[in-house]
């Protein structure tokens, strides 16, 4: 079974989670700018975007960007929860079975709440 990396002390974990959080905040800012640009473009146009033969509708683009914004906000919440687990000394412990999450999983998903075995189980 994979165990947390021995050199992954709390300061390293906080730094890594902080770096990922900054990256997510930058993505969110970019997406917010994209969303605002799509909305502004629709205000300046009286085109019937529902029947535009040139491609996606403005409503579709707004919806798509909005969905991605929701995902990034969820990821930020997960990163904040992971930072709270670091502070509580519970980072790297599966919330389902109490076992170790494992260094490889945490390298791939630093905000992981469960070990691989529990993540693969059907939810009740």
68 within 8 A of 31, measured Cβ to Cβ: yes
> What pTM was estimated for this model as a whole?
0.75
Both tokens of 24, joined, read 């997510």
Distance CA 24, CA 14 (A): 15
**Contact in structure between 111 and 81 (CB atoms under 8 Å):** yes
Q: Where are the domains of the chain?
A: 10-89
- Interatomic CA distance for residues 74 and 66, integer angstroms: 12
Write the pLDDT tens digit of every residue in 17-36: 999 999 999 999 998 887 77
Residue spans of alpha helices (H) in 46-115: 58-88, 103-108
Cβ atoms of 79 and 65 closer than 8 Å:
no
Q: What is the pLDDT of residues 54-108, one digit of tens each?
A: 556 777 888 888 899 999 999 999 999 999 999 999 999 999 999 999 999 999 9
């Amino acid at each position: 079974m994979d165990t947390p990396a021995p050199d992954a002390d709390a300061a390293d974990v906080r730094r890594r989670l902080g770096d990922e959080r900054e990256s997510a905040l930058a993505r969110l800012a970019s997406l917010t700018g994209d969303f605002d640009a799509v909305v502004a473009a629709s205000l300046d146009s009286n085109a019937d975007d529902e029947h535009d033969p040139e491609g996606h509708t403005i409503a579709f683009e707004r919806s798509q960007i909005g969905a991605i914004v929701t995902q990034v906000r969820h990821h930020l919440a997960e990163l904040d929860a992971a930072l709270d687990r670091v502070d509580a000394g519970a980072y790297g412990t599966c919330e389902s079975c109490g076992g170790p999450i494992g260094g490889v999983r945490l390298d791939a998903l630093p905000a992981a709440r469960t070990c691989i075995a529990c993540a693969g189980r059907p939810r009740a």
